[in-house]
Amino acid sequence: MCICRAAAWGTIVEFSGWLCPLTPLENWLREQAGQQAYRTDFLERYLLPILYPDGLTREMQFVLGSIVLLVNGTVYGILWRRHNRIRHRV
């Protein structure tokens, strides 16, 4: 149940455009440590550069997206077959 609440909260924050409540806390702590606060939120500061690094082309995005689909399709296919075998044995 806790995971569902966390996912719901994250969804509400993202869809509403609210600032994550941890960002002001993190900025305050950074200032207390003598570091500079940042103006963006956590996702924009830390995750977007990982997901969309400099030099990422549209072709590279297509290849990476295709790999994700292939891996997921393979895993779900294996699980689906395994589930059907177990169901037919009973």
Taking the model in full, what pTM does it have? 0.47
What pLDDT was estimated at residue 12?
A: 84
User: Position 10: which residue type?
Assistant: G
Cβ contact 20:41 at 8 Å: yes
In this predicted model, what pLDDT tens digit does every residue of 39-72 receive, in sequence order?
Answer: 887 778 888 888 888 888 989 989 988 999 999 9
3-state secondary structure of 42: helix
The Cα 44–Cα 46 span in angstroms is 6
Q: What number of helices (H) and strands (E) belong to the chain?
A: 5, 0
